[in-house]
Structure 1
Amino acid sequence: MKIPVPDVLLPADELGRVHFVGIGGAALSAIARIMAMRQLPVTGSDDNDTPFLAGLRELGVTCHLGYDAAHVGAADTLVVTTAAREDNPEVLEGRRLGLRILPRSAGLWSVMAGLRVAAVAGTHGKTTTTSLLTSALVAAGADPTYAVGGVLAGTGHNAEVGVGDLFVAEADESDGAFLVYHPHAAVVTNVAADHLDVWGTEEAYHRAFDDFADTVDRDGFLVCCIDDPGARALAAHARASGLRVVTVGLADDAEVRATDLAFEGASSRFTVKRGQDVLGEVRLLIPGRHYVVDALAALVAGLELGHSFEGLRAGLEAFGGSGRRMEAKGEAAGVRVYDSYAHHPTEIAADLEAARGVAGEGRLVVAFQPHLVSRTRLFGPAMGQALGVADEVVVLDVYVARETADPDVTGRLVADAVPLPDDRVAFVPGVDEAALELAARARTGDLVLTLGAGSVTEVGPRLLELLAVDG
């Protein structure tokens, strides 16, 4: 459901009682958590009892399961997820009552009001980079408020209220939300076509990032990872518009570079150079070249915000990851299981490269669940090609989410494109079948990686149970 952003935005303490339609999602639960921590009256509903709800209930937030007009209660304001259906009874009730109805972007803005905002955007890597920046700033003494699209391992939450004047936010482009925030500082990890069901064309998608850069305070700055062509073009646009830009990456012409990369199992290290000056070495507890670049971007944003290299480095080096980003789920019968959120060909390729390094001498066995019919229609064959790096692949059917199923667009479109022999690729309908298929294929020494933005995250725990019983 598309809810328009109102012409006048109000801070959270002027919204009255707020009811969240879709409170169990990563974005809305973070906003609700911040409001609740500020002692503002909050309720919500969701059709799934997600892991985020437990933390909200601990704060005293009433979280209904299922949608019903009665749940709106005495609310003055609704904040509505983009995944809500047009016939959602709570939204219909809010309209009948004439309540203020906000999209999540306006809800997030309301809790940002009055603080300096550091917003992290990009097609890929937003959650990890936002989490890395938050961890770095906390270690450097900034104590920011933050809202991340995943669980921060160091705190166990996706949002917290700090006492500093800084708000660190993951800025999502999927529905244009990132155009609302007007940050003081921004990071863009990359710009590659996605969400074309919303933007229509690749050109329009890229223009949205140009528009985002144009919203950054002129006395602020933008950090761009110019290894990516889209972010490189964005840096040029932003500079031409008068915004201060700092370029980072592995490229020789990046102003701040990561050099001397080394990977060992699930860890990595690199040297940071600004021009010819060596700032120091950073050691990460997360694997993969793309995570090195994410960490470099977070580091530079922290430096530009006025914090020390040593303090920021301490936070980066203590960072244990964020939920669903190459997250270790456990080990059974000699099989290690990881889970990641990758759902775009570029993300799949990056996570498989990292997983291959973690696997060492073992095989890499992957279960992938395509996310959204529209994305699978556009990128299904490319997803399959990216999965070909694995030794064995299990593809689930499409996680439909907010769209309508299309019998012509299924996980078979991905499975048929995997460049592996037929006996090393399986197409299964759902989570239970995927766990069983993986259990039959995995053997001691293997690394199993579950990938996707939907219910595939449930496969790993079920697989571990099966392996423990069989073992």
Structure 2
Amino acid sequence: MAENGVPDVLRRAHLIGIGGAGMSGIARILLARGGVVSGSDAKDSRSFLTLRAQGAEIAVGQRAENIDALAEPPSSVIVSTAIRDTNPELARARERGIPVLHRAEALAELMIGDTVACIAGTHGKTSTTSMLTVALQHCRLDPSFAIGGDLNESGANAHHGTGRMFVAEADESDGSFLAFEPTVAVITNIEPDHLDHHGTADAYSSVFVEFVRRIAPGGVLIVCADDAAANDLATRAAADGLLADGVRVRRYGRTATGDDDVRVLDYRPLPDDGGVVRVSLRGTETDVQVAVPGEHMAFNAIAALLAGEELGAPAECLAEGVAAFGGVRRRFEFKGRSGEVRVYDDYAHHPTEVAAQLRAVRHSAGDGRVVVVFQPHLYSRTKAFAAEFANALGLADEVVVLDVFGAREEPEPGVSGALIADRITGAKCHYEPAFDRAATLAADIARPGDLLVTMGAGDVTQLGPEIIRELDGRGGAAAPGE
């Protein structure tokens, strides 16, 4: 390990896909520690400006020459699962014998020497990791962190802190979170997803079994008691000796009953968004306020409080930090308004996430309608969960379903947004396969008082400002019947 805290293998790191959320976070931390960073991406991105200002050498376009042109050979090349073996920079690195690390392996190297808290789960891990980070910062502990989204407070997704603790979102999508050895591990829930990588629901669940084996001796596993799969995993792990020596289990939720658990007694939404969750711990009842809407967010807050307590922060201070948490970009992020129409953007891309967010949105909408512009993410996920997506989207009043954002996947015959749209009941549905017509259609649908949310993990996030401009150009939304 170098004196500045940069491991030798990362002292001159080249990141392929440096503009991505996970990769840019690693670059931020390396630069803050004094490392030499280079990288490339297929196209320019918002994160490039900051990284270049901090000293990163970034190329737009991925070519073997980007490796050859560096003043000194990289000590390693860092990739994510999205980088294919045919990538010219990856191929050149292997030709030249340069070590290749997965993003999670690089992050694990940066964690060495710190007390590590990892937040895992099918849903809620970004929000929970963010809440924990903000709460610890409120308690003046300055953790290092790496999150899959930008904090509203700082606009950053990663940070090299002065405290000797590291908070990280642990990604199960490709099993890469098995590179970590946390002292504090949170599992919010376990529900089949990412079957394009894992293949089966059983295989997906099994990777969480391996994750809990990675918890350091003397650490703690925190799970939601109300999620059957997460709760069963914790019970089985403790009974079958899967946990390292001295690892404790703590639970939270309505069904949590242990002496060291946090039992949720009640949740009530507040008029101006957010809510209050009443909990009981060791016989004492207390209220915890959450600024972001939705009961699911309140549960994430309790998980964050438990993790923060295990990291040594005072409970009262942590609660104050959670109450001040302003959210994460793309997690029910307010984009603006046109007249009486409010427009939000949300990253929900799994049926359970969509349903939970729409329940929260319903409260925020008051007497207005809920209008959703939804973009399915991945052909494999659309095919596997079309009926579940339709049920979740039926919680809205009116829905526009776009075509599938394929991301890393090639199109699959017969799989499109129509698989979902054709199954939606309970809400008026429109299938719009042409992305460039989506903003106009959404503006046609909008009425005064509506809450409109663009939803999905792809480029649907671009539509919010376009919808607002379209409505502004018309002088606002038309009233019913106009």
Task: Give the match's secondary structure for 1:169.
Answer: strand
For 1:209-358, what aligned pairs fall within 5 Å after superposition? Answer: 209-240=208-239, 241=241, 242=243, 243-251=247-255, 253=257, 255-264=261-270, 265-278=272-285, 280-358=286-364
SS at match of 1:266: coil
CA contact (8 A) 1:432 1:459 kept: no
Q: Deviations over 1:46-80 (max 9, x none)?
A: 11323332321221212222111111233231101
What is the one-letter code of the residue matched to 2:254? Answer: L
Alignment coverage as a number of residue pairs: 459
RMSD: 1.5
For residues 403 and 81 of structure 1, what CA distance do their matches in structure 2 show?
15
Deviates more, 1:24-33 or 1:54-63: 54-63
- In the alignment, is residue 64 of structure 1 matched against residue 52 of structure 2? no
Q: Which runs of 4+ in 1 moved over 6 A?
A: none
Q: Distance in 1 between matches of 2:74 and 2:8?
A: 14
Q: How far apart, CA to CA, are the structure 2 residues paired with 1:354 and 1:267?
A: 9
Q: Identical aligned pairs, as a percentage?
A: 45
AA in 2 matched with 1:253: T
Q: Distance in 1 between matches of 2:170 and 2:419?
A: 31
TM-score (norm. length: structure 1): 0.95
1:143 maps onto 2:132 in alignment: no
Letter of the 2:376 counterpart: P
- Verify: 1:405 aligned to 2:400, yes or no: no
> Partner of 1:6 in structure 2?
none
Asked if 1:75 is matched to 2:70, the reply is no
Matched, 1:23 2:18: yes
2:438 is matched with: 434
Structure 2 length-normalised TM: 0.92
Verify the 8 A CA contact 1:210 1:237 in the aligned structure 2: no
Which whole-Å deviations, capped at 9, do the CAs of 1:66-103 have from their partners, x for residues lacking one? 11111123323110121123321111111111111111
Aligned pairs for 1:363-378 (under 5 A) are 363-378=369-384
Contact 1:17 1:75 in 2 (8 A): yes
Shift of the 54–226 alpha-carbon distance from structure 1 to 2, 3 Å rule, reads farther
Query: Who is 1:41 aligned against?
Result: 36
**CA apart distance, 1:237:** 2.3
Q: State how far apart, in whole Å, the 2-side matches of 1:34 and 1:162 are.
A: 9
Is the contact between residue 225 and residue 256 of structure 2 (CA under 8 Å) also seen in structure 1?
A: no
Unaligned segments of structure 2, at least 5 residues: 476-482
1:55 match: 50
| Structure 1 residue 250: Cα displacement | 2.6
Distance in 1 (alpha carbons) for counterparts of 2:431 and 2:48: 32
1:3 — aligned with what?
Answer: none
Is residue 372–residue 455 contact of structure 2 (8 Å, CA) maintained in 1?
yes
Amino acid in structure 1 at the alignment position of 2:419: L
Shift of 1:273: 1.1
- Deviation at residue 325 of structure 1 after TM alignment: 0.9
Query: Structure 1 155/13 Cα, relative in aligned 2: closer, same or farther at 3 Å?
Result: farther
2:479 aligns to what?
none
Return the alpha-carbon distance in structure 1 between the equivalents of residues 49 and 120 of structure 2.
Answer: 28
Q: Which moved more, 1:268-277 or 1:182-191?
A: 268-277
Q: Is the 8 Å Cα contact of residues 46 and 64 (structure 1) preserved in structure 2?
A: yes
Specify the code of the residue in structure 2 equivalent to 1:433: R
Whether the 8 Å contact between 1:340 and 1:452 is mirrored in structure 2 is yes
Superposed CA deviations along residues 415-470 of structure 1, whole A, max 9, x for unmatched, are 1111146xx21111244222111111011100011111110111111111111221
Deviation of 1:289 after TM superposition, in Å, equals: 0.7
* Deviation of the 1:11 alpha carbon: 5.9
User: Could you tell me how far apart the structure 2 residues matched to 1:390 and 1:170 are?
Assistant: 30
By how many angstroms is 1:16 displaced?
3.2
**CA distance in 2 between partners of 1:408 and 1:343 (Å):** 20
Alpha-carbon shift at residue 13 of structure 1 (Å)? 3.9
Aligned residue in 1 for 2:162: 163
Q: For residue 447 of structure 2, what is the aligned residue in structure 1?
A: 443
Instruction: Please give the secondary structure, in 1, of the residue aligned with 2:204.
Output: helix
User: What code does the residue aligned with 1:355 have?
Assistant: V
- SS of structure 1 residue aligned to 2:342: strand
Aligned-pair distance for 1:252? 5.2
Rounded to whole Å, the distance in 2 between the matches of 1:125 and 1:368 is: 19
Q: Whole-Å Cα distance in 2 between the matches of residues 431 and 331 of structure 1?
A: 21
Question: Which SS does the other structure have where 2:148 is aligned?
Answer: strand
How many angstroms apart in 1 are the aligned matches of 2:367 and 2:58?
46
1:116 is matched with 115
